[in-house]
Structures are given as structure tokens and as C-alpha cells.
């Protein structure tokens, strides 16, 4: 064992001494007798990467291959691995999870051969990973909601900005407020909403030399008008899935003589529920009931789209509640073509969306090492409100996916149940062609 280590160390010493000076000056742009590929690319910080290729020529078996990398923003390359080609001239390097955290470049050399045999340079793009949590998923206008989270990799982006953004009805994102990444790579942004609505929000990191741009998964926040203390309105669930029902309820009190007067329930008063969805110019009466002995009332609703509700006394004198927004979430299904695969093989994800979302965007998301889902592909829902994604795996392991429909003014963003795919590593010769 000691002799083998000594031999390997001596090989490394020779390679470093001879090859590094040339590598530091410029990265090769073209292959010269040696190919290279890196998969997957781009990745999310911390993902494993497989680097592989083939040595050309008749005498390609058992040859030493040296892997170099340059990590942004460093100006030079260093040796990070040594291996041997197999009987067909193929080689591979596996960069394990939690190793590749930032943008970097790779190339390989075959130092034991004449003619300066080397590959082109591959640039590995590495996205940051952001988490996002809202202090509350419900709130009132004028009251702060705090959005906080974490940015990986830790320590690389302290002092850089992150952007709290709202998604509009066309699917575009608009910045509401800017925060800074602080100690521990954490951030916190407080925001007060001026108008009642159901909001879909994310936090964006725009990228730098070390990591490419990335966004957090979105969160939905239901903002209502500040309550009328003498005529309240609440919902059993501020965000429901399409096809589910919710209970709208509240209490009607006698008008107060002064701000300090006690609140007394007002029974046997007819009250009417009104609702309005996007596109309606006026609210529509949906039902009438009478308040009970405790002044309470309730209505059961089953909207298919986001709906603004309020309750009003049916007869004069007219009194009404604040507006309440009931968010309705898209229902998304997801089925993989197989629960197992191998590196380089394609798995197909299919599913449906309800209510009808033909022509809308849909995102394929993968669970990151940070415990959050991150978007890895974007598609379009077809005329049958169905979708399809193809995904080719670049490394082995277990991977969890889901699909997400971004919110619009009609519905709150919906996600599918997650599915897990187990991926094995095949012989390197069967991997996609290198270049």
C-alpha cells in the first residue's frame, strides 16, 4: 500500500512540475487528441459532477490522464485528479457531492504522450441555492410580512443583494424590495402590502463571478383588508385546491356608540355574500343567510379561481365587511416513465393541470441538497391541459422531482406530489459522445 502511494505521489509531482506552468497561462480552446465532457452542466451548488472523455489513437489503453480545474475568480489552473484510461481509451472523474460549489473550468492532459495531448476547456456553471420562508402566509394590508432565507454556498456572497419579487398575471417577476445577504449567508426582507390580494413571491440572486443567477422556490401570501371590528369575515382556509371548499364566516355586532363601547352580537339580521373573480367588473350576490343568536354567519364556497369575497347586510342600513381573498391553487399531477434509470438515459415526466391551463408555463423542479426545490426546466402546457418533460441524468444517486405551475391572477401556484428516481452509473463507454 505504501509503495503504491509513493509511486502515485511521484507521478503527481512530475505532472505538476511540467504541466502547471503552461496551464496557468491559458485554457485550451480545442481538443488535441483528447476529448472531454462534464455532466450535468449547469448544476445547483453541491451537486455531483461526472467528467469523462476518450483518448484518441491506437495506443490509448492504460494511459495517465490528469484533470485540471480553475475556480473563479482565480487566474490559474491546478491539478485535482489523476486516473488511467480503460482498454478503449475512456476515462472518468467523479466530483462528489458538496465539492463543486462555485463556477469553474476543467480540462485534461495525457502527460505521458508526445505532442502536448490535451482536451478543450469545459466551463461548469454552478447556480446558487436560495431558501425562502414567509413569517406568515396570511396578513392584512399595512402590516409587515417578513421574508427570510439562506443562500448557498455559505460565505461567498455576504454583502451582495437579493431581490424580493412578485409574479404578475403574465408570469413576469417585478422587484418589490432589495435586501442584503448577511452573516451566515442569511437574509431578511420586511414588506408591507398596500392592497388586498393573493401574492406569489420569490427571492432572486442575480449571480456573480462565483455563481450564476438563481431564484428561491415561490411562496403564496394571502393579504386581506384590515378587519371591520363590528362586522368580521374569515375563511377556514385562505388557500384551497381547485375542487375543494372553504367556509366563509364572521360575526355581526351592533354599531358601537364609541370606540370603547363593548361589542354586542346582533342576531337575526339577513346578510348576503358577494364574490368577484378577475374579469368581473362588479361583485355578484352568491347567497343570503341570517345571523345567529351570537351574531355569527357562515357560507360554504367552492371557487375554481381566486375570488374576492365580502358580506353585506341585505337591507338598509347597509353595513359590510372588509374584503377577503380566497386563493385557489392549481391541481397538478406527475407521473414518471420509470422510477429507475442510468446516467445518460432519458426519463419522461408527464401530467395534467386543473383547472384548464392550456398555453401556460410549467416548471420541472428538483429537490436540492438544501432541502428546497429548484427549477431545472420550463415547458408549456398543451391544449389538453397536459404537459411532458424529458430529463437525462448526468450523475448517479436518488433524485426527487416535482412540477409547478406558476401563479396567475386566476389561480395560486400549484405543485405536484414529488416522485423519486434512482439512477445508476453505467460503463463510461456507454455515456453520450464527448467533444
Asked whether residue 16 carries a pLDDT value surpassing 80, the answer given is no
292 and 303, same domain (yes or no): yes
246 in the same domain as 217: no
pLDDT value at 338 more than 60: yes
Q: What is the pLDDT of residues 240-260, one digit of tens each?
A: 999 999 999 999 999 987 778
Of the chain, the percentage scoring pLDDT greater than 70 comes to: 92
Judgement on whether residues 120 and 48 belong to the same structural domain of the protein: yes
Residue where a domain terminates, one of 225, 250, 274: 225
237: domain CATH number is: 2.60.40.730
Residues 346 and 427 both lie in one domain: yes
Give 19-75 pLDDT, tens digit per residue.
344 444 467 888 889 999 998 899 999 998 999 999 998 889 999 999 999 998 888
Please check whether residues 113 and 20 belong to one and the same domain.
yes
Q: How far is Cα of residue 344 from the mean position of the Cα atoms in its chain?
A: 23
Long-range contact list for 11-14, CB < 8 A, 24+ apart?
Answer: 11/64, 11/82, 12/79, 12/82, 14/111
- Of 280, 300, 321, which residue is a domain's last? 321
> pLDDT value at position 7?
31
Residue 4, pLDDT > 50, answer: no
Report CA-CA distances (Å) from 238 to 166, 167, 199, 235, 415: 19, 19, 12, 6, 17
More confident residue, 172 or 11: 172
Res 18 pLDDT > 60: no
**pLDDT at 366 (0 to 100):** 94
Q: Which distant-in-sequence residues (6+ apart) come within 8 Å of 424 by Cβ?
A: 340, 341, 342, 343, 396
Q: Are residues 369 and 417 in the same domain?
A: yes
- Split into its structural domains, the chain has a count of 4
Amino acid at each position: 500500500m505504501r509503495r503504491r502511494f509513493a509511486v502515485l505521489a511521484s507521478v503527481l509531482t512530475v505532472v505538476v512540475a511540467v504541466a502547471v506552468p503552461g496551464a496557468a497561462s491559458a485554457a485550451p480552446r480545442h481538443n488535441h487528441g483528447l476529448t472531454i465532457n462534464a455532466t450535468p452542466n449547469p448544476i445547483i451548488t453541491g451537486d455531483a459532477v461526472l467528467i469523462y472523455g476518450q483518448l484518441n489513437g491506437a495506443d490509448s489503453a492504460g494511459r495517465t490522464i490528469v484533470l485540471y480545474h480553475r475556480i473563479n475568480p482565480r487566474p490559474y489552473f491546478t491539478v485535482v485528479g489523476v486516473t488511467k484510461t480503460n482498454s478503449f481509451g475512456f476515462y472518468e472523474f467523479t466530483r462528489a457531492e458538496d465539492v463543486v460549489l462555485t463556477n469553474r473550468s476543467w480540462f485534461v492532459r495525457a502527460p505521458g504522450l508526445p505532442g502536448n495531448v490535451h482536451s478543450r476547456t469545459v466551463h461548469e456553471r454552478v447556480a446558487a441555492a436560495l431558501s425562502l420562508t414567509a413569517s406568515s402566509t396570511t396578513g392584512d394590508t399595512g402590516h409587515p410580512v417578513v421574508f427570510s432565507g439562506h443562500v448557498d454556498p455559505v460565505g461567498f456572497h455576504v454583502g451582495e443583494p437579493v431581490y424580493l419579487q412578485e409574479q404578475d398575471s403574465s408570469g413576469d417577476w417585478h422587484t418589490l424590495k432589495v435586501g442584503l445577504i448577511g452573516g451566515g449567508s442569511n437574509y431578511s426582507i420586511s414588506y408591507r402590502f398596500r392592497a388586498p390580494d393573493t401574492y406569489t413571491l420569490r427571492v432572486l440572486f442575480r449571480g456573480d463571478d462565483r455563481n450564476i443567477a438563481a431564484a428561491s422556490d415561490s411562496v403564496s401570501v394571502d393579504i386581506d383588508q384590515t378587519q371591520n371590528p363590528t362586522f368580521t369575515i374569515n375563511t377556514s382556509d385562505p388557500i384551497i385546491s381547485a375542487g375543494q371548499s372553504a367556509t366563509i364566516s364572521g360575526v355581526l355586532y351592533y354599531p358601537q356608540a364609541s370606540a370603547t363601547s363593548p361589542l354586542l352580537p346582533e342576531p337575526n339580521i339577513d346578510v348576503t355574500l358577494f364574490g368577484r373573480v378577475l374579469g368581473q367588473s362588479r361583485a355578484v350576490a352568491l347567497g343570503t343567510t341570517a345571523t345567529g343568536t351570537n351574531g355569527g354567519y357562515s357560507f360554504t364556497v367552492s371557487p375554481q379561481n381566486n375570488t374576492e369575497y365580502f358580506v353585506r347586510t341585505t337591507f338598509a342600513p347597509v353595513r359590510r365587511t372588509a374584503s377577503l381573498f380566497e386563493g385557489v391553487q392549481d391541481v397538478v399531477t406527475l407521473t414518471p416513465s420509470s422510477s429507475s434509470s442510468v446516467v445518460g438515459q432519458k426519463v419522461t415526466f408527464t401530467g395534467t393541470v386543473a383547472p384548464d391551463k392550456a398555453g401556460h408555463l410549467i416548471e420541472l423542479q428538483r429537490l436540492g441538497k438544501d432541502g428546497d426545490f429548484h427549477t431545472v426546466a420550463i415547458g408549456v402546457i398543451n391544449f389538453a391541459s397536459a404537459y411532458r418533460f424529458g430529463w437525462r441524468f448526468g450523475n448517479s444517486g436518488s433524485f426527487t422531482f416535482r412540477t409547478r405551475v406558476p401563479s396567475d391572477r386566476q389561480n395560486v401556484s400549484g405543485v405536484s406530489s414529488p416522485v423519486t428516481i434512482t439512477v445508476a452509473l453505467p460503463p463510461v463507454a456507454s455515456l453520450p459522445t464527448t467533444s
